Structure 1
Amino acid sequence: MVIHTLFDLAAAACSLLLTVWVYHWRLRDDGPLAIEEFGTGYAVALIGGAVVGGFGFGTLNLWLSGVPGLGRSIVGALAGAILAIEIFKRTKNITGSTGLIFVPGFAASVAVGRWGCFFSGLDDQTYGTPATLPWARDFGDSILRHPVQAYEALSMAVFVLIALVCFARRQPVFMRHGFYLMVGYYGAQRFVWEFFKPYATVAGPLNVFHFLCLALIAYAGLMIKRTADDRTAA
């Protein structure tokens, strides 16, 4: 799927450029980056967790749906990276959020990368369920379907704009909880889109990714509350 690879490269480039720009624009004076401060162990945990989570949950979902082969999952990669970093932070007695720098890049990578899924058609295994809406699309099997890839791309593009406005204003709540807000937002919107995908369910109408999304939402809420409690106690 050459077109998917091209969009993956475009997503990576946009993510990197936006991250570097936001860092120099708004975050450089706030101290060293987590990777600089905590060393290669942080980077290894981040990348390793993302790879294991992305391929692990992506492949599990395909297997449950009766589709052979390896799968990749954005939500799985996010969950895996978070789990690995939280374990790393606990072993190093690191407190507080270290993920604000990743907010614009992650959101932008999804906003761009999902178009690669959209244009790759059925082979990508990310198409939606049949629909009769005016914007339903035929992905190659003569069946009009929900363009869930576009739903997610547009949803995350909106978040990118919101995040940039918050960075520009140095909005206090966002500067403290921006990573957790992004995780919660991503989990919530992705939870909705999963109802429009033909994946195998594991409990009622919920598939594997539904439960990952619920875990992300719970994590975001818990961490925001914990951070707020720590500030109150201080």
Structure 2
Amino acid sequence: MQKAFFIEIMIIDFPLTFQIFGKTVLAHPVFETVGIFLAMRYYFYLKRKSSEKMSFSSSAAVLIGATAGALIGSKLIGNLENPYLLFNDFNIQRFWTNNTIVGGLSFGLIGVELAKKIVGYQKSTGDLIVYPLILAMIIGRIGCFFTGVYEETYGIPTDSVFGMHLGDQYLRYPVALYEIIFLIILWITLKRIQIKSKFSSGFIFQLFMLSYFTFRLMLDLIKPKIEIIGNLGTIQLVCIVVIIYYIFKMKNTLNQKSNQ
């Protein structure tokens, strides 16, 4: 029975779909919605347990800033992955449905920092969102994997043993699986660092951002992309900017710790 079940999973047809209210829906938006819901519940659970309290106005400002920044960034960077199509054949529906977590994270950060400046809140707010964010990303990437080549979250063709059929005639790198594995390892590593080391508030978020954007810079080497500068795509260029920013930010954090 177990062997038969394993074989059935291995030959699943891509894309995985669900019937919702009589409509066929791809796995990705379903898993993405579930991931966001569970992550928000987890965040509020951690927030209740946290000793760091924010006023309602500060909390609301940060939430609005993060949401607005992530929404704008995910769609802007997602569409700039193919700037020629964006500017030469603009389509509002395509613009609205193109998203990327890289744009969401980077512009969400900008939105939070702007919101904090507006309300005059100076403390770091990132650490509390790290693990709910990783949870949402893991669940979302499960949906990406089961969607296969029917959304742009798949790898380039390969003849290596790592290739998988994801819905077309090619063996491709299952990059969504690689990201899931990386995020699980990152979660465990960050937890251990948080328990064993006493860094200032915000350090775990900085380490998460630096680690994830470095990973994405490398992962996108085996993903289809429009080359913008050299052999780098839009997402990789954004990753480089964020990596440089957080190298300097973490350097300042570590210097402050050593001077204490």
Which bracket does the TM-score occupy, shorter chain normalised? Answer: 0.7 to 0.9
CA distance in 2 between counterparts of 1:24 and 1:171 reads 23
User: CA-to-partner distance for each residue in 1:47-103, whole Å, 9 max, x for gaps?
Assistant: 100000011111121444789723101010001111122223334444342111110
Following superposition, the deviation at residue 212 of structure 1 comes to 1.1
Return the structure number with greater helix share. 1
CA distance in 2 between counterparts of 1:93 and 1:233 reads 26
Q: Structure 1 stretch 85-94 or stretch 188-197: which is displaced more?
A: 85-94
Are 2:195 and 1:195 equivalent residues in the alignment? no
Q: Residues 65 and 200 of structure 1 are in contact (CA less than 8 Å); yes or no, is this contact kept in structure 2? A: no
Unmatched tracts of structure 1, length 5 or more: none
**Structure 2 counterpart SS, 1:202:** coil
Are 2:239 and 1:219 equivalent residues in the alignment? no
In percent, how many aligned pairs have the same letter?
A: 21
User: CA-to-partner distance for each residue in 1:159-194, whole Å, 9 max, x for gaps?
Assistant: 122233344x26313755011001001101111101
Q: Residues 174 and 181 of structure 1 are in contact (CA less than 8 Å); yes or no, is this contact kept in structure 2? A: no
Alignment correspondent of 1:134: 161
Alignment correspondent of 1:10: 34
Following superposition, the deviation at residue 122 of structure 1 comes to 1.5
User: CA-to-partner distance for each residue in 1:12-58, whole Å, 9 max, x for gaps?
Assistant: 23323433444455xx12x214x746142222211100000011111
**Structure 2 counterpart SS, 1:193:** helix
AA of the residue aligned to 1:103: V
Alignment RMSD: 2.5
Where do residues 171-182 of structure 1 align in structure 2 (5 Å cutoff)?
Answer: 171-173=197-199, 176-182=202-208
Could you tell me which of 90, 111, 114 is aligned with 1:87? Answer: 114
Alignment correspondent of 2:22: none
39 and 107 in structure 1: CA distance in 2 versus 1, 3 angstrom threshold? closer
Following superposition, the deviation at residue 199 of structure 1 comes to 0.7
Could you tell me which of 46, 53, 73 is aligned with 1:32? Answer: 53
Could you tell me which of 104, 110, 115 is aligned with 2:142? Answer: 115
**Structure 1 counterpart SS, 2:81:** helix
Q: Residues 104 and 163 of structure 1 are in contact (CA less than 8 Å); yes or no, is this contact kept in structure 2? A: no
Alignment correspondent of 1:47: 67
For normalisation by structure 2, the TM-score amounts to 0.78
Are 2:171 and 1:144 equivalent residues in the alignment? yes
